[in-house]
Amino acid sequence: MASSPELRAWAQRCLLDADPVAKTDEVARMAAAWAAGACTLDPHAVLADSAAIPGRPAKPELVPPSRVGRRSMATGEGRAMLIHALAHIEFNAVNLALDALWRFPGMPAQYYADWLRVADEESTHYRLLAAHLATLGHAYGDFPGHDSLWEMVHKTRGDVTARMALVPRTLEARGLDAVPPMRAKLAQAGDLAAAEILDIILRDEVGHVEIGNRWYRWLCEGQGLEPYGTYDELVEKYRAPVLKGPFNLEARRLAGFTEEELARFAAIGQLPAAPSNG
């Protein structure tokens, strides 16, 4: 009788897969196997890293964020560019969740279950966006993308506390602020199918950011660290992006940010924009 697959090793193998369809299908199989009790978990195994991580297709071409291009809602091409950019973010988020699942040993079992859930939901988001992109006459890889999200994943590969602080509760939390205005623009342009996909993404992303918040605070408590001051130190150490408003305070509240943090976000959101040099 064949032995049951081990969850973290399975997640690492899945991360190495370069094909988005195969990767997201495998995530679904992994989540189903975990739910059925058909795979094991070794939280203490130290798995060998690989220079090939993460697996991703030859396209899209990765360029600096400033070269990704504008996404006007006035044209079908502009809407396709926006949907492509969102699909790229979600595909990277699948890799992010798989990396968080396999990379860090010694965490409670619930940590790994949480990140498997994130990987599964991000896979669903990617498939929804890729399918919608096809209705616009395009496929994932047709437009360039940037690598900012994975760059922070790579920077924090040796520190699970920094990973929780700077990826889910910083970079991914930006989606809580950005999705509602994008959803409104797509709906105004008549793309109600895309707007409905963004409703699903926002709902799920609240939970993903909450997972990052919860485990960040758990890690700080276990190490005797003050969470707010530690967060500021990690932002400086890893050169994380500076937060800018406006913020979706209600979504951030649902995602587990404290009232003290929300007050800080509100203050940032009220600051006047920096003068343009252009």
The predicted-structure confidence for 128-141, as pLDDT tens digits, reads as follows 999 999 999 999 99
User: What domains lie within the chain, and their CATH numbers?
Assistant: 7-270 (1.20.1260)
Inter-CA distances, 239 with 126, 164, 171, Å: 28, 15, 12
Extract the tokens encoding 235.
């932002």
- How far is 211 from 80, CA to CA, in rounded Å? 31
Percentage of residues in the chain having pLDDT higher than 90 = 79
What sign does the CA torsion over 147, 148, 153, 156 have?
positive
The predicted-structure confidence for 3-58, as pLDDT tens digits, reads as follows 899 999 999 999 999 999 999 999 999 999 999 999 999 999 999 887 667 999 99
Q: 12: burial class by Cβ within 10 Å (0-12, 13-18, 19+)?
A: buried
CB contact burial 118-147 (16+ within 10 A = b; e otherwise): bbbbbbbbbbbbbebbeebebebbebbbbb
The predicted-structure confidence for 125-181, as pLDDT tens digits, reads as follows 999 999 999 999 999 999 998 888 889 999 999 999 999 999 999 999 999 999 999
The predicted-structure confidence for 101-122, as pLDDT tens digits, reads as follows 999 999 999 999 999 999 999 9
> Structure pTM?
0.92
β partners of residue 40: 6
Amino acid 51: pLDDT? 61
Q: What is the pLDDT of the chain when averaged over all its residues?
A: 91
Kindly compute the dihedral angle of the four CA atoms of residues 211, 216, 222, 226, in this order, to the nearest 10 degrees: -140
Q: Which amino acid is at 267?
A: A
- How far is 202 from 93, CA to CA, in rounded Å? 14
